[in-house]
Amino acid sequence: MIRAPIQVDLTTGELSGNGVQTTIRTLCHLQGIFRDEKSRQALEAEKVVYRVQAFHPVREGEEGGLFWGATSIEPGVVGDEYFMTKGHYHSQQNRGEYYLTIAGYGGLILMDQARKTVYQPMRPGSVHYVPAHTAHRVANTGGLVLTFLACWPSDAGYDYERIAAEGFSARLRKVSGVPTLVEDS
């Protein structure tokens, strides 16, 4: 079915139009995501960490379509770990994704099948390819809201359970004020 276009505000990354859905993730949704659980609990439970807007022109799980999204991560830390997304593998592991940074500064954290974790600095205009079979999460390392656009296959799906069970092998932490990828102990 041919769908009406939606709009991206190229300054803020905000999506608008028919079919755009918004999900808010507050600190209380992010139990077990950050290394320092005590610090997370000490912060305001209703504090917004990030917001995801998504446009699904076809049903989730349908083969052959593409989804479009905008994610805005607030500046902040839990302990010494930057505010970040939950992170996921795709349920259909052989599906990739693109990210395009619109505003702010951050890091895309990628972990391959061998649990090797790297991070790519994100800045306005940076385009990042998330390969298939690769866990991905984004952290806001700056003092402003970090906003990026994403495009991914409609049948990719989300595997959050594997992240909950195994985590990433490294975390992006603020060490002497500098974003540093630190192996998780």
Closest alpha carbon to 166 in 89, 106, 99: 89
For the CB of residue 98, give the shortest distance to ligand M6P in the complex, in Å: 10
Distance CA 86, CA 98 (A): 17
* Residue of 35, 88, 162, 174 interacting with ligand M6P (CB under 6 A): 88
Closest alpha carbon to 76 in 9, 30, 127: 30
> Are 71 and 22 spatial neighbours (Cβ–Cβ below 8 Å)?
no
The residue ranges that bind Zn ion (CB under 5 A) are: 97
For the CB of residue 91, give the shortest distance to Zn ion in the complex, in Å: 10
Distance CA 27, CA 38 (A): 12
Is 86 a residue that touches ligand M6P (CB under 6 A)? yes
For the CB of residue 181, give the shortest distance to Zn ion in the complex, in Å: 20
* x/- track of binding to ligand M6P for residues 112-131 (CB under 6 A): --------------------
Query: In Å, what is the CA distance from 86 to each residue of 8, 17, 34, 105?
Result: 24, 26, 9, 18
Is 87 a residue that touches ligand M6P (CB under 6 A)? yes
Closest alpha carbon to 21 in 61, 57, 52: 52
Nearer Cβ to ligand M6P, position 90 or 173?
90
Is 52 a residue that touches ligand M6P (CB under 6 A)? yes
Is 69 a residue that touches ligand M6P (CB under 6 A)? yes
Nearer Cβ to ligand M6P, position 121 or 175?
121
Which phi and psi angles does 157 have, rounded to 5°? 70, 175
Binding-site ranges for ligand M6P (CB under 6 A)? 52, 69, 71, 85-88, 97, 150, 152, 158
